[in-house]
Amino acid sequence: MNERSIRAQFLQVGTQLLTPDGWQRIHGVLVFAKDQKSLDQVSVYTPQRTLDDSDGWPFRFNDLVLTRGEVPGEDDCPSWCVEHYRGGDRLQEKNCSSFPDAVTVVEACTGIERELGFWGEQRVNRETGTVERFGIIESKFLEDVELTASGLRNLARKLRELADMVEETP
């Protein structure tokens, strides 16, 4: 059967998940918010760990997990695709994501180190066939950040590589 790694927040009911106890079909998924700006945990429920008798299988929000079964994405995936999920108003979009990359930045006001994450995405509308490729930059904070000159060069290099990757033709 076709096995794929996806981020825990994109798990879907009906998909099979590889757990420490083997492959199990997902019967429920709950995403718990740590606060209003970030999500912290995904709990997955299977026949072995039900909502009635357990806390489910716990995952961090961006953990990569191995799945099989009904996962979107097939032969039309870009070479950099490592995960799939459905999106759009009626789940009509097949989405592919690259493995995330990140740079460390420092909040300007507090001096706290944070991670600025980014990755490539491909979105295919299953109804129209329209394909879009773009980069995602994820920021779990809303503060200004500081980067040294070498940090800026590293970020610029990685963003150029991301742009080249999403421009790659299949």
pLDDT digits (tens, 9 = 90+) for 153-164: 999 999 999 999
Residues contacting 64, CB < 8 A, separation 6+? 5, 6, 7, 8, 82, 83
Q: Is 109 exposed, middle or buried (0-12, 13-18, 19+ CB in 10 A)?
A: exposed
Residue 72: band (very low, low, confident or very high) from pLDDT cuts 50, 70, 90: very low
Rounded to two decimals, what is the model's pTM?
0.58
Q: Quick: pLDDT tens for 91-136.
A: 678 888 887 888 888 988 888 888 888 999 998 887 888 889 999 9
Cα dihedral sign, 57-61-67-69? positive
Region 160-169 average pLDDT: 90
